[in-house]
Amino acid sequence: MFRKSRASTLSVLVGAIVLSFAVVPQAIAAPIPGVQGDLTPIADPAAFAVNGGAWFMNPATVPLVNPKFYILQGSPQDGGFAYSISLTSPTSGSDIAAVEVAISPQGRQLVAVGTPAADWPKPVGSLAGQGSAAAPASTSVESVSPLTSSYRTGEFLTIWQDPLGIIVNEVADRINWYYDGTYVTSFTGSSFWNWFSGNGWHPVGSPYVGSYYNSNHTWGTVYTNAQFETSSWFPLPTCGTTDIYYQANNVYGGGNGQLSGGVNTWGTGGCMFLLHWLAGTHP
């Protein structure tokens, strides 16, 4: 299984300089079904010229079933590049995920999109450092509640990994919601986060967990803001301090029963070129 669950609108910033960390939630517009972003399909991933960039994994070993490859163009931001991609679970009971495969100095990424392979990645709770929290209780919308409601549950997960595939930190948000085909009538949620303490990773402050409805109650959202940091000398003594930010990791439950999600995530530090992200949905 692809972790407990996930979905995604993804915005990643690599190599940026960030001076402060805020816990104010940053809402992302509800994603459009399918794959969206500044993407160019590429039939042969070997045609992606990294020009001195970093390959994080061999495209033949990407842990997705029948992946499709895209060039994802970043936008200059804060000394690095920001990347945006959105993913929505296509049908009930199916997964979709995106994996950063390679990155070039020109701000392009090779990204694979597809169905996650079984038993990948590792389940939440497999790392040495762990945390969790319940989202604030939502308020039922009795005025739009039907005589009968449908129920669904799902998660959205974002992971950062090192070149060996070790998860250095991750955040997952879960939502459990009732819906009537148009409106979300009520929902609850929770968040889980893990970090690889064996290499010095630790949370900076306490992750912030929240929840809210959109203005017309067609979506319910559970989100987490978190920051993780390490000053470990491994894998390179010159790495210095590395920080990874999730602002915010979101999971959406739709009034039509659709599971989606989104994340704004980026990293700073001298060895960010050794780390890569992945994100996706799971019912």
Q: Domain limits of the chain? A: 8-18+26-282
Please tell me the predicted confidence (pLDDT) of residue 226. Answer: 94
CB 104 within 8 A of CB 169: no
Residue position matching structure tokens 């104010």: 24
Please tell me the predicted confidence (pLDDT) of residue 17. Answer: 28
* pLDDT tens track, the chain, 283 positions: 444 333 333 444 433 322 222 233 333 444 445 777 788 899 888 888 777 778 888 888 788 888 889 998 877 766 667 677 777 877 666 788 888 899 888 878 898 988 888 766 654 555 667 888 888 866 555 444 555 689 999 988 889 988 888 889 999 999 999 999 999 999 999 999 999 988 889 999 999 999 999 989 999 999 999 999 998 867 677 788 888 889 888 888 999 998 887 777 788 787 888 888 888 887 7
Cα(252)–Cα(257) distance, rounded to whole angstroms? 10
Give 113's contacts (C-beta < 8 A, 6+ positions apart): 35, 64, 67, 68, 69, 70, 87, 96, 97, 98, 99
Instruction: Report how far Cα 171 is from the mean position of its chain's Cα atoms.
Output: 8
Please tell me the predicted confidence (pLDDT) of residue 15. Answer: 38
Please tell me the predicted confidence (pLDDT) of residue 271. Answer: 81
Please tell me the predicted confidence (pLDDT) of residue 274. Answer: 85
Cα(249)–Cα(261) distance, rounded to whole angstroms? 8
Please tell me the predicted confidence (pLDDT) of residue 83. Answer: 74
Give 151's contacts (C-beta < 8 A, 6+ positions apart): 176, 177, 178
Please tell me the predicted confidence (pLDDT) of residue 262. Answer: 77
Taking only Cα atoms into account, the Rg of the chain, rounded to an integer number of angstroms, comes to 18
Please tell me the predicted confidence (pLDDT) of residue 6. Answer: 34
- List the beta bridge partners of residue 264: 11
The closest of 166, 160, 159, 170 to 235, measured between CA atoms, is: 166
Please tell me the predicted confidence (pLDDT) of residue 126. Answer: 55
Per DSSP, the residues of 89-153 read -SSTT--EEEEEEEE-TTSEEEEEEEEEPTT-SPPTT-SSEEEEEEPPPPPP-GGG--SS-EEEE
